[in-house]
Amino acid sequence: MAQLSGKSIYLTGGASGIGRAITEAFVKEGAVVTILDRSAAGLNELKQQYGEQVQCIEGDVTVYEDHVRAVKTAVETYGKLDVFVANAGVFDGFAKFEKVTPEAMSAAYDLLFNINVKGYFNGAKAVTEELKKTAGNMIFTVSGAGFYPDGGGVWYTASKHAQIGLMRQLAFELAPDIRVNAVAPGGTLTALHVIPPLQPFVKMVDNETKEKSIKKRNPLQIAMISEDHVGAYLLLASDQARAITGEVISSDGGLAVRGL
Ligand code: NAD
């Protein structure tokens, strides 16, 4: 039997990159997936590809009501909710603390923390009652930047540490009803968006340069792609992980081995 047969999953940021690869893997393993994303074009592609197996909701993770709308759609369409994946996020482009003006730093904080931290909180809050009914679980996409410096600039790194704190506190408060875990991908070749206030302060790099730099930074020397991470999500979402909560699975080419 498929690993996630009959599971109803709600995921944010599924229209692109890691979220899209997770959606594809979940559908392949028998799940139905409700996706919240702000990219109408990406959502349309998913709908065309997967039809009735997905529900696509255009919206913004910083708006609590958008999560409520997505959860309502998932439950009305598929009868229940088993798993929530908080994944939509934005980046600071490695903006250097000393180079950025206080005004830009302040605008960047509001934008980035709203999406990366409040967006995860909003989703978790909106799904809790439904996940209690199914003894379900949550999975947060964090990052190597949740443990080590130099996976981003100050705001991205701080936001990823905050996501891990949020995950651990929720795992504590929601036990024994709901498991809460995280996956920490390392640098991955996606279109991860650098927020506008920081764009003037960072160097935009082409894909080839990005690939080389990702390879150089992890001991396994892998230029990771989104599909490299889906195994960790499949495990945590499944009943095989029923004894796992409050944990982070690193999928980063071995950053801990390097002791970065
Ligand atoms: P991506 O840009 O390819 O995908 C992010 C998706 O989130 C997009 O579809 C985008 O439209 C959506 N999104 C962004 N802000 C949103 C908002 N406010 N409301 C609704 N949707 C929104 O990037 P990705 O690399 O796949 O990033 C996914 C997650 O993986 C993020 O949390 C990111 O921090 C994390 N991550 C990425 C890397 C990497 O190197 N790419 C490494 C570690 C962790």
If pLDDT is split at 50, 70 and 90, which confidence band does 212 have? very high
Q: What is the per-residue pLDDT for 204? A: 87
Encode pLDDT of 136-191 as tens digits.
999 999 999 999 999 999 999 999 999 999 999 999 999 999 999 999 999 999 99
Instruction: Please give the pLDDT value at position 186.
Output: 97
* Nearest alpha carbon to residue 174 among 128, 140, 123: 128
Give the DSSP letter of residue 224. B
Q: How far is the CA of 1 from the centre of ligand 1 (A)?
A: 31
Measured between its terminal Cα atoms, the distance across the chain in Å is 40
20-50: per-residue pLDDT in tens?
999 999 999 999 999 999 999 999 999 999 9
**145 CA: nearest ligand 1 atom:** 43
How is residue 153 written in tokens? 């600039």
Round to whole Å and give the CA distance between 13 and 20.
Answer: 8
β-pair type (248-251, 137-141): unpaired
Asked whether 25 and 50 are in contact (CB, 8 A), the reply is no
The pLDDT assigned to 226 comes to 98
> Which residue, by CA, sits nearest to atom 39 of ligand 1?
188
The residue ranking higher by pLDDT, 192 or 62, is: 62
Pocket of ligand 1 (CB under 6 A): 13, 15-19, 37-39, 42, 60-62, 87-90, 115, 141, 143, 185, 187-188, 190-193
Average pLDDT, the chain: 97
Give, for ligand 1, the residue of 18, 64, 94, 121 to mutate: max count of ligand atoms closer than 8 Å to Cβ: 18
78 catalytically annotated: no
- Residue bearing the CA closest to ligand 1, atom 3: 17
List 78, 120, 156, 233, catalytic entry:
156
Quick one: average pLDDT of 86-106? 97
Integer Cα distance of 73 and 126 in angstroms:
12
User: How high is the pLDDT of residue 243?
Assistant: 98
At residue 210, the pLDDT reads 93
**Ligand 1 pocket test, candidate residues 38, 58, 142, 227, most atoms within 8 A of CB:** 38
Query: What local confidence, expressed as pLDDT, does residue 259 receive?
Result: 61
pLDDT at position 142 is 98
